[in-house]
Structure 1
């Protein structure tokens, strides 16, 4: 051994290549040398793609409950980069004075742009960390979306869209694009009076607007969250029209539950092609969904009309969203309802379920009785229906609705089962009149009746074919003559009515040992008997008295 001491285990790296920070204990104090403030770390409230988020408070206070921490601290190892970008964006563009100035110019009472309260570096167990202190907010929109069954009411979707348009206008006015708008990065207000205000956070991918000529950059291709990435970002260029496009994809997902390309997210190029096709034929492509308001379709059409370097007309976009909210009687700052109450979840047309809501049993019974009492006679048994289905045509006699039923018709109630017809279930059973059998005419004397011929007399067709025309019984010892062939006497009646070659054999046998008696028992069994036929020369005397309607020669 070389005697060298082992190094401390380094924090693991995530799949994206960013190093995750070691856990910071509750109560750890970090010092902000710039603002001359100290912050106390609270319980962790989440882990991001490159760091961890902790609740926090000022050093002088020590809350006992997690809900009493009014701030959050985002921490990442110094070698990571996203928090560095976000920290400098906040320092340059998110001061309270700048935000207040913009709100006054636009006559806004609230704005979803977060403010920062401190930043700096902190060392813990020999590891150097970068941190950023922000205001604490409530639940993120993605969590609310999943809780609502992946569908928001349309009015809530356009309320969120309007509030995000205000934030995007502020960011774009500072020469930046967000490039990663999604439900997980939109948080609802936590303070009293801000419960219905959404805040756009996480500026780790914020990029300065490129003033140069629009040129694809393969190194930055497909940046962002793949399901919402704009067509420009797929080419590696972040644009202002791209931010609007990303917002549009989010709004469409909040309305319909799933974007058309969500099943191909592992193939960025395939997703890019999907989006190109979708945006080129926006009206035709959006027909695959139901309940998509016209305002959102016009919003996408306006995005298509923009060139990469064009300035966005935010007023026009707001008018599209506000016109829809006005038609629904909702305001931008009104209460947001995240649970769908009135309308069904929007779905694709080809997957649309045609089932209607179930009716109560009492209402169904009253409606059917009121409708059919005058039309139907006899016993009626109503069937409970769970689904409304098109009625099937029933074949009945003409003009028979108001006539008395015939005596030969008996109406019986049907057994309970599912039926698709809205008419009450009535089964009509017609009694068939039994006809008296016709008497069989007497057979002529010396006439060979084909219906009473034995199986031996009839020509052999198939050895496996069973014949049922043998005589029921046979007179013991009677000699039968078949077409001139004389058969020897049979000691007993036929053993099988299907074959005359069987006889019954009697055999004495001793009883089984388990019986108490030694008495012998006679057992009868059927055995097959060979029949020897001795053909004789043909003679007209052996033929029936009448043959083919003619008498034989004398």
Structure 2
């Protein structure tokens, strides 16, 4: 097991590989640091540089998936991967295109309540992207509002992309889950059941709830399990407004499919009739 060295810091203006100039630190993920950089070989083109401890398995996982979807709409473009050395330590680097702002940033600006129409648009587009991943044979396993990017054009249309594939794995056979927990994680996964495509869709529902200011799970790790159980006992109680009923129905349909099997058309019908 390799742990990321938190002491690594790249000052603004640092030139990596004689090509990428550091603009700012964007965020920390659990296994990496993420920087905005300028690709000096392409004028002022902005890119995202993700740095991990050398030979960390997540680097190979993410770079492999990004290569698989390199020219697919809805996913960042993989510019290149390379190794980098700083302070006598080696790191793996992934450079991708810079794509929009996180859903979390949009929600924060709007006090965690966006229009139901945009919530529907985001939900449908993320569902289609997850479907594309699943058709390629993969599950995301970390779908939360930091890993959904939005770009709103002048006409008001919303372009959606998924990022952060360090937990992405092949979905057949269903991968075992140990210690996965979070406000966006399904009760089945928290209870240790194997991860399926339906668990990606459950995470989508949790993000749609966040878009409407519905937060029955909180953000404290030690309370997720109990609060999830309460929600699952009577989910529609959390959708009192008629305009949000479709989100509750989406949750119920996904849970039904855990027994009856995956039915894309039934999920699509909920989006169409919302």
TM over 0.5: yes
Match of 2:145 among 179, 183, 203: 183
Counterpart in the other structure of 1:323: 273
**Alignment of 1:259 onto 2:223:** no
Structure 1 or 2: larger strand share? Answer: 2
Separation (CA, whole Å) in 2 of partners of 1:142 and 1:161: 14
Separation (CA, whole Å) in 1 of partners of 2:14 and 2:220: 45
Q: What pairs up with 1:412-431 in 2 under 5 angstroms?
A: none
Structure 1 or 2: larger helix share? Answer: 2
- 8 A contact 2:61–2:167 mirrored in 1: yes
**Alignment of 1:197 onto 2:159:** yes
Question: How far 1:232 moved relative to its partner?
Answer: 2.6
- 8 A contact 1:231–1:275 mirrored in 2: no
Counterpart in the other structure of 1:60: 41
Separation (CA, whole Å) in 1 of partners of 2:7 and 2:86: 10
Consecutive unaligned residues of structure 2, counting only runs of 5 or more, are none
Separation (CA, whole Å) in 2 of partners of 1:210 and 1:173: 11
Match of 1:28 among 9, 15, 35: 15
Question: How far 1:58 moved relative to its partner?
Answer: 3.3
Separation (CA, whole Å) in 2 of partners of 1:58 and 1:122: 16
Consecutive unaligned residues of structure 1, counting only runs of 5 or more, are 1-16, 31-37, 63-67, 100-110, 325-554
Match of 1:94 among 69, 73, 86: 69
Change (3 A) 1:308 1:112: farther
Separation (CA, whole Å) in 1 of partners of 2:259 and 2:91: 38
Separation (CA, whole Å) in 1 of partners of 2:172 and 2:133: 14
**Alignment of 1:46 onto 2:21:** no
Change (3 A) 1:191 1:155: closer
The SS at the match of 1:311 is coil
TM-score (norm 1): 0.45
**Alignment of 1:234 onto 2:190:** yes
TM-score (norm 2): 0.86
Q: What pairs up with 1:10-21 in 2 under 5 angstroms?
A: 18-20=4-6
For residues 405-427 of structure 1, the C-alpha deviation after alignment (integer angstroms, 9 at most, x for no partner) is xxxxxxxxxxxxxxxxxxxxxxx
The SS at the match of 2:21 is strand
Question: How far 1:42 moved relative to its partner?
Answer: 2.1
The SS at the match of 1:72 is strand
User: Which of the pair has the greater relative contact order for Cα pairs under 8 Å at 6+ separation?
Assistant: 2
Question: How far 1:195 moved relative to its partner?
Answer: 6.7
**Moved >6 Å (runs of 4+):** 190-195
**Alignment of 1:306 onto 2:257:** yes
For residues 40-62 of structure 1, the C-alpha deviation after alignment (integer angstroms, 9 at most, x for no partner) is 23212412222222223334356
Greater Cα radius of gyration, structure 1 or 2: 1
**Alignment of 1:286 onto 2:238:** yes
Question: How far 1:21 moved relative to its partner?
Answer: 5.6
Q: RMSD value over aligned CA atoms?
A: 2.8
**Alignment of 1:245 onto 2:202:** yes
For residues 308-355 of structure 1, the C-alpha deviation after alignment (integer angstroms, 9 at most, x for no partner) is 793341x4323322333xxxxxxxxxxxxxxxxxxxxxxxxxxxxxxx
Separation (CA, whole Å) in 2 of partners of 1:305 and 1:131: 41
- 8 A contact 1:248–1:296 mirrored in 2: yes
Question: How far 1:169 moved relative to its partner?
Answer: 0.6
Separation (CA, whole Å) in 1 of partners of 2:271 and 2:42: 44
The SS at the match of 2:19 is strand
